[in-house]
Structure 1
Amino acid sequence: MEMHEMPCGRFIDPLSDFGFKRIFGTEANKDILIDFLNVLFAGERHVADLTFNQNENNGQLSIFRKAVFDLCCTGADGEQFIIEVQRVKQEYFKDRCLYYSASLVRDQVTAEIANWKYDLKPVYLIGLMDFCFEDSLDGQYLHEIRLVNRSSGQVFYDKFGLTFIELPRFKKHVPELSTELDRWLYLLKNLTKFDQVPTFLSQPVFGKVFRIAEVCNLNEQEKMAWDAYLKAKWDNENSMEYAKKVATKEGREEGIKRNKRRKRGREIEDRS
C-alpha cells in the first residue's frame, strides 16, 4: 500500500505537530488561536490580534541554550504567548516550560537599549498535555500558575503565568459541556473520533477547525506529511507493544526459573 493510500479517520489529530500547527499556527487561521486564548484566559487578558514569531529563540548570549517552541506569538499589546504540546510524560517538563517562559522575559532587553526601566511585557505559557502530573488529582485538568503572595493569596505579579491543561483528566461528557472552554477541550481531546461535525460544536470557530482538520481538504504535500506522521505513530505504538510483550514473556520465564531454583533448594534441604 502506498503512503498516500493509508487509511485514517476523517479529521487530523490536533495534538500532533502537523495538526497543531495547521490548525493554530498559520496567519490565515490565527482567529482560531485568538478565540482559544481569550476563552482560556477568561477576562484575565483579552487578545485583540496576534503576530506569529519564530519558533527558535537563541538568546542574546551564546551561553544560553536554544529554546525551540511549538508555537510562539505576540499580542497586539506586546504580550507574548508560548503554546507547548506534550504527548508523552517528560521528567523535566515543568522545568522546560519555566525555562522557555523565562527566556522570553530575559530577551526583552538588548544591549542596544539605553536607560531601560524594566517595564516588562507579559509572558504566558500554555501547556497542552496528553499525560498527567503525578501530584494532580482526578478531575483537576486545569492548572493556572501565577506569582502570588503566600500570606494573602493575592496575585503579586500579573504579567507572568503558566497554564497547564491535562487532557486525560478532562472527562466531561456532552451534556456536561457548560462553557466555551469545556467545548474547546472536548474538541481537542476527541477531534479524531468524529465522523461528522456534531451540532453541539456548531459555533463558527469550531466549524472552521473542522474544515481545516478534514483530511480530504489537505493538499498532496500536506497529505503526505499527515500520512508520514500516522506511519511513525503506528510504528512507535507497535514497537512499544512488542517491547511490553517481550518484557512480560521474559519476566514470566524468569519467574518460572526462580520457582524451579527455590524448589530444588527445598529438596536439597529436605534430603540433608
Structure 2
Amino acid sequence: MNELLDPKNDFVFKRIFGSEENKDILLAFLNRTLLEAGEPALTEIILLNPYTDKDSPRDKQSIFDIKAKTVDGSIVNVEMQLFNRYDNEKRTLYYWSKQYAEQLEEGNPYKQLKKCITINILDFPFLPNDRYHSTFHLYEDHTGITLSDDIEIHFLELSKIDTTEIPTKGGLLNWLLFLKSENKQIWEVLKMHDAKLGKAMTALEFLSQDKEARRLYEMRQKALHDEASMLAGAREEAEKKGREEGREEGREEGREEGREEGREEGREEGRKEGHKEGLQEGLEKGETKGTKKVAKALLQKGMDIQFISEITKLTEDEIIEIKTGLAHILDE
C-alpha cells in the first residue's frame, strides 16, 4: 500500500473537501468549525468553485481554496496555508474585502451584501495565544455591541494541537487531527465519533492509490517547496540588504559624529592655544610696559640713554621717545 498523501497539501485538500461528490464532507467540517465558535449550523451549501480536472498544479491560475454559499446567501471561503507568507492579517482582510465587495453589482443597494466567512487553516503558529481555533468579529471595544455580523474570520492553527491526546467525543479537533495526519493510529477512534470524517479518510486513501493523483500531488508539493524557498530567499536577501543599509547608515552617522567631535576638539584646542597666545602676548605687553616704566624712572634720575638701554634692553630710539614724552609733561 502506498504511503498516504498529506491532506494539508492544498491540491489534495480541495480534492477531498471541494468536490461535488464530497460536498457533505465540507458541510460537516464547516458545521464543526461554526458550532465551536457558537454559530448556528448550516443545512446546505453550494460550491462556487468546485474541484475539476482543470485544477492542476501545472496551471498557475488554479485556485486551491474552497468557496461556497449557504442557503441564506452567506459566502464561505476555506484556505489551507502550509507556510507563513507573513502579513497574514492584512492578507486575510484584503481577500475578505474582495470577497465581500464582489457580491455587489453596479447599481445595487448595499443591503444586498451578505455575510462573508473566512476560514484559514494554518500549518504554522500565528496568533500569540494557545488556542488552536480563534474567531474574529467586529465589536465595539467597551460595550461589545456588534457593528455588523458580516465579517467573521477563523484561524485554525494545526501547530497548537496536541497529537498525543485521543479525543473521546466528536468535534472540530477530530477533523484537525485528521488534517495534521501525524498519528494515523487514532483514525479508527476518530471515525467512531464522526461518519463524515470516516468518509474523508476513505477519500484520502483512495487518492493515495491513484497514480495520476499522486503525480499531481508531487508536482504541487514541488511547487509549494519552490515557493517557500523563493520567499525564504527573498526574506534573506531583504534582511541582508537591510543589514548592509544599516551598516552604511551607521558608518555615515559615525562619520558625522566623528566630524562633530573633531570640530569640538578643534574648537577646544583652539581656545586653549588662543588662551595661551593671549597670555603670552599679555605677558610680553606687561614686560614692555614695566620696562618702559623703569626707563622713565632712570631718565628722571639723570642717567644717560646708553646706560638705560643696557639695563632695560630697550633701543636708544625707544628711550629717546620716552624722554621726549617726559619732557612734554614737564613743560605743561
1:72 paired to 2:74 = no
- Aligned equivalent of 2:191: 201
Q: Specify whether residues 32 and 176 from structure 1 end up closer, same or farther in structure 2 by C-alpha distance, changes over 3 A only.
A: closer
Alignment partners' CA distance in 1, 2:161 and 2:13: 19
Question: 1:143-182 counterparts in 2 under 5 A?
Answer: 143-171=134-162, 173-176=164-167, 178-182=169-173
CA distance in 2, matches of 1:207, 1:179: 12
- Alpha-carbon distance change, 142 to 46 in structure 1, aligned in 2, over 3 angstroms: same
Conservation of the 8 A alpha-carbon contact between 1:49 and 1:75: yes
Deviation at 1:178, TM superposition (A): 4.6
Give unpaired runs (5+ residues) of structure 2: 51-60, 234-332
How far the C-alpha of 1:13 sits from its partner, in A, is: 1.3
The structure that has the greater radius of gyration is: 2
Q: Kindly state the Cα deviation for residue 174 of structure 1 after the two structures are TM-superposed.
A: 3.1
Contact 2:207 2:213 in 1 (8 A): no
* Alpha-carbon distance change, 150 to 198 in structure 1, aligned in 2, over 3 angstroms: same
C-alpha spacing 1:233/1:91, structure 2 compared with 1 (3 Å): closer
Q: Look up the SS of the partner of 1:147 in the other structure.
A: strand
C-alpha separation in 2, matches of 1:147 and 1:69:
28
Q: What is the rounded CA distance, in whole Å, between the counterparts of 2:110 and 2:220 in structure 1? A: 47
Rounded Cα–Cα distance in structure 1 between residues aligned with 2:154 and 2:139:
14
Q: Secondary structure at the match of 2:201?
A: helix
Pick which of 157-166 and 120-129 moved more. 157-166
CA contact (8 A) 1:69 1:83 kept: no
Task: Tell me how far apart the structure 2 counterparts of residues 155 and 98 of structure 1 sit (CA, whole Å).
Answer: 18
2:118 is matched with 125
CA distance in 1, matches of 2:67, 2:227: 28
Query: What is the percent sequence identity of the aligned residues?
Result: 27
State the match for 2:34 in structure 1.
41
Q: 5+ unaligned residues in a row in structure 1: which ranges? A: 1-6, 56-65, 244-272
For the 8 Å contact 1:12–1:215, the answer to whether it is kept is no
Structure with more helix by fraction: 2
Residue equivalent to 2:128: 136
- How far is 1:151 from its partner? 0.9
**1:101 counterpart = 2:92:** no
Choose which of 201, 210, 213 in structure 2 pairs with 1:210. Answer: 201
Aligned AA for 1:136?
P
Greater RCO, 1 or 2 (C-alpha within 8 Å, sep 6+) = 1
Name the counterpart of 2:76: 81
Does the aligned pair in 2 maintain the 1:50–1:74 contact within 8 Å? yes
Amino acid paired to 1:180: G
**Is the Cα contact below 8 Å between 2:190 and 2:197 reproduced in 1?**
no
RMSD in angstroms over aligned alpha carbons? 3.1
Higher strand share: 1
Q: TM-score of the superposition, structure 1-length normalised?
A: 0.69
